[in-house]
Amino acid sequence: MSEPVPTRVAIVTGASRGIGKSVALRLARDGRHVVLMSRSAAPLEDLKHQITSAGGKASVKAVDVADAGALAKAVDEVADEHKRLDILVNNAGITRDNLVLRMTDAEWAEVIQTNLTAAFVAIRAAARPMMRGKFGRIVNIASTSGVVGNAGQANYAAAKAGLIGLTKTIARELGGKGITANAVAPGYIETDMTSALPQDIKDKITGMLAVKRLGAPEDIAAAVSYVSSDDAGYLTGQTIVVDGGMTMA
């Protein structure tokens, strides 16, 4: 008989709400020990309680991913505490939308730091324990804005496009060591970011979609669940677009 697979340890950044929260809940349901990361501890503690009350496993690491030193230290601590690190989901992200002629250097830099540089820092820190374990699943939450662009989001689209390029490079560098890297690119998802959109804009967007509805965070969590699973060992360097058919050729 083969030995049972030990509990996989997964880090999810930006886990306090929206897509990150749904991803954390789904991975916990899949049997992972989920390490919840975001700046504020309080919502993470609430989510941890939700997970553990349902029989899952979770712990909390409050860290600002824009602080590269603190983020790298937090990833190292997770690997040391659990003696392993199997899954990294880089989900944390912000927007600072503006037309390019009005966008400030600060708006540009803040989005690039949080949405792209933080992912690089976390991947670099996670790679060594994954290599030691001869297993790893790196999942970067990109966006259709990084695939086709979006007016008013030069910073966000550039960061997400960079995330896709980073994903492909990491896949090439680490594929021979049992580590895969994939991006999941959501379209319009019902989150705090889209809740502020006027209803007529939402209706217009919905009319463009093949499925005639906005996505739910759980739609993205389902995709992350598969690409981070043991079954997805031959899937790497890909961008899984989950957008209700918005960008299909």
The candidate with the shortest Cα–Cα distance to 113, out of 168, 159, 154, is 159
Tell which residue, 5, 12, 40, 22, has the closest CA to residue 223.
22
Helix axes 118-133 and 68-82, enclosed angle (nearest 10)? 20
CA 59 – CA 78 distance, rounded (Å): 10
Helix (H) or strand (E) holding 195: helix 192-195
156 is catalytic: yes
Tokens coding 242? 């989950």
Integer distance in angstroms from the first to the last C-alpha of the chain?
47
Q: Exactly one of 156, 188, 226, 234 is catalytic; which is it? A: 156
The residues that are catalytic are 156
